[in-house]
Amino acid sequence: MTMLRTLVIRNFVLVEQEDIEFEAGFSVLTGETGAGKSMLIDALELLVGGRTEAGAVRQGAERADVSATFEVSPGPAGAMTEWLSHHGLEGDEGQVILRRSVERSGRSRCFVNGQLSTQAQLREAGEFLLDIHGQHAHQSLLRPAAQRDLLDLHGGCAELAATVATAYREWHRLREAAADAEARQHAIEAERVDVEDKIADLDTLDPVEGEWERLESRRMALAHGAQLIDAANVAVSVLSEDEDACATRLAAQSGRLRGQMAHDPRLKEWVDLIESAEAQVVEAARGLRHYASGIDLDDDALREIDARIEFLHSTARRFRCNPRELAELRKNLRARLADLELVSDAAALRKVVEEREAEYRRVARRLSEKRGKVARALSRDVTSAMQDLAMKGGRFSIELMRADAPTSHGDESVEFHVAAHPSLPLKPIAKVASGGELARISLALQLVASSSSPVGTLIFDEVDSGIGGAVAETVGSALRRLGKLRQVLCVTHLPQVAAQAAHHWKVTKEDLADRVGVRISALTKAERVEELARMLGGAQITATTRRHAAEMLAS
């Protein structure tokens, strides 16, 4: 799970400098009309890839800078961690830092974990971290892909959806291969005949791995057999058989020195070395004698080897390879022939394609059935939640529309439809005109599906637009419940909503010497009572208003 921990704002619109630390749970942001409450939302929206304008830079400054630190679950698991690793944007374990710097010209630079990034990457990272619901915000629920993912995630269909995508890709890969094979049938047949001829030639030759090296070694021995025997016999004579052989002379010298050891025992070390050399010379002579007796002077064998070498050479020249590579070449040609036989056998290839298509349709049908059940249940639950959010008689429906052709996402498209009033027809949520209605529909969805959403921080702007009284209290209660599952931040002008928050921030506008500024501050309990009283009573705050505010906060 992720959570917004800090937000640092420098020279953004009317904010000169703010360092805000957020807590878990439900927080509200309040302030008088025109105080600049939406600037915090605008700053966060900028951080997750929103559009930039030169007006984002505070008057008198050269650059605006906004950064946020998010706490993320440590460890290798999780989509956020995988995304960072894939893009080489890893940072300190357990946190993600987003930063956006905007120059007065409107040009901006984006950073993820201190590394220069693109605006698109900032937007992608933001989709794991923040979901902003409001009239002027990018909202994941407006994207068809996000609607489909939310349905699959909420209904436990994500793994099956991934299986469908894999089956679709495999089916289309083989279908394209079959189409290519059909178009290239004549070329494939010609190649198959050519490969068969080459394999036949190589089968006649029957090359064996390592044969070339063995033949060369054997040929050298046969071609120079006489010289090798003569050299070995001469060495044997010199070492041990001549009258003045090495072994005889070494034995004489070791005997002479051994006789002198009585006068100086230190000679033993050198006598031992000479005797060791004598033993080695004798052993070498014995080995060379055996070697010479084993050399073959068979001229017929030499002629056979020469013929085999020439056969290997001529075949290698024809195939334009090294004689050592002939055995490996035959192995590769046999593998290629197996591929060509499959491709050239149109019936067999069609059967494989049909099998893959059947597999895709089987898992896609299972996915459709599961999505249908989840869509009906989620539609019912969200419709029920809407009744308590000033949308009495409103309806929510997840429509599964049969696709014109199979897709990697299944046999249907997923679209959220809504009717905010009983008199209105259901229509795509993306076409809902009212920002307040859209925010409350999003709230109803989040209340129902929050346990499945991967996004840890939810921000609601104008969620209470057009409501008041008991409905406002219901909205506040709903946000408080949602705050137990996710980090929730709500910009509100209703005391019934603000009173139910665990944390309260206030935005105030300040008249400075040469400009207007905005201050964002956390409120104490006493300050919260005063702010709630202002929201209840307007300009004139009485003791009764303060008492009412204190009662709201206490309850």
Residue 361 vs residues 158, 164, 368: alpha-carbon distances, Å:
17, 8, 10
Domain closes at, from 343, 377, 393: 343
Tell me the residue range of the domain where 280 lies.
206-343
**Over the range 367-404, which residues count as b (16 or more CB within 10 Å of their CB) and which as e?**
bbebbeebbeebbebbbebbebbbbeebbbbbebeeee
Residue 394 amino acid letter = G
- pLDDT at 180 (0 to 100): 77
Q: Given phi > 0 = left and psi -120 to 50 = alpha, else beta, which region is 527? A: alpha
Q: Is residue 77 domain-resident?
A: yes
Nearest of 397, 504, 473, 486 to residue 447 by alpha carbon: 486
- pLDDT at 137 (0 to 100): 41
User: What average pLDDT is seen over the chain?
Assistant: 83
Residue 384 vs residues 377, 388, 396, 448: alpha-carbon distances, Å:
11, 8, 9, 10
- Which is higher by pLDDT, 477 or 344? 477
**What average pLDDT does range 330-347 have in this prediction?**
80
Nearest of 507, 381, 526, 499 to residue 450 by alpha carbon: 381
Cα distance between residue 133 and residue 50, in whole Å: 14
pLDDT exceeds cutoff 70 at 474:
yes
- Same domain assignment for residues 212 and 129: no
- pLDDT at 379 (0 to 100): 93
pLDDT digits (tens, 9 = 90+) for 52-97: 776 788 888 888 899 999 988 765 546 788 888 888 888 888 889 9
HSE at residue 226, side-chain half, CA atoms within 13 A, is 1
pLDDT exceeds cutoff 80 at 307:
yes
Q: Is residue 287 domain-resident?
A: yes
Q: What number of other Cβ atoms are within 10 A of residue 540's Cβ?
A: 7
Q: Is residue 194 domain-resident?
A: no
Tokens of 251: 């034995």
Q: Is residue 321 domain-resident?
A: yes
CATH number of the domain at 44, please: 3.40.50.300
- Same domain assignment for residues 4 and 85: yes
Dihedral angle at the C-alpha atoms of 426, 432, 433, 437, nearest 10 degrees? 100
Cα distance between residue 448 and residue 358, in whole Å: 36
Q: Is residue 56 domain-resident?
A: yes
- Same domain assignment for residues 228 and 133: no
Helix (H) or strand (E) holding 198: helix 185-205
Q: What percent of the chain has pLDDT over 70?
A: 89
Beta pairing class for 487-491 and 457-461: parallel
- Same domain assignment for residues 210 and 98: no
pLDDT digits (tens, 9 = 90+) for 13-60: 888 888 889 999 999 998 877 667 778 888 888 898 888 776 788 888
CB 117 within 8 A of CB 89: yes
> Which range, of 219-233, 239-253, 330-344, 400-414, averages the lowest pLDDT?
219-233
User: Long-range contacts: 243-248, Cβ < 8 Å, 24+?
Assistant: 246/281, 247/278, 247/281, 247/282, 247/285
- Same domain assignment for residues 232 and 321: yes
Q: How confident is the model at residue 309 (pLDDT cuts 50, 70, 90)?
A: confident
- Which is higher by pLDDT, 10 or 431? 10
- pLDDT at 515 (0 to 100): 67
Domain closes at, from 343, 358, 390: 343
Which residues, at least 6 apart from 383, have a Cβ–Cβ distance to it below 8 Å?
394, 395, 396, 397
Q: Is residue 353 domain-resident?
A: no
- pLDDT at 136 (0 to 100): 43
- Same domain assignment for residues 135 and 6: yes
Q: Is residue 195 domain-resident?
A: no
What's the structural domain count of the chain? 2
Q: What number of other Cβ atoms are within 10 A of residue 348's Cβ?
A: 12
- Same domain assignment for residues 328 and 239: yes
pLDDT digits (tens, 9 = 90+) for 520-532: 888 999 999 988 8
Q: Is residue 434 domain-resident?
A: no
Q: Which of 175-179, 367-371, 383-387, 447-451 has the largest mean confidence?
A: 367-371
- Same domain assignment for residues 132 and 219: no
Which residues, at least 6 apart from 33, have a Cβ–Cβ distance to it below 8 Å?
493
- pLDDT at 138 (0 to 100): 38
- Which is higher by pLDDT, 527 or 539? 527
Collapsing DSSP to helix, strand or coil, 154 comes out as helix
- Which is higher by pLDDT, 243 or 298? 243
- pLDDT at 311 (0 to 100): 85
In the chain, what's the furthest Cα-to-Cα distance? Answer: 135
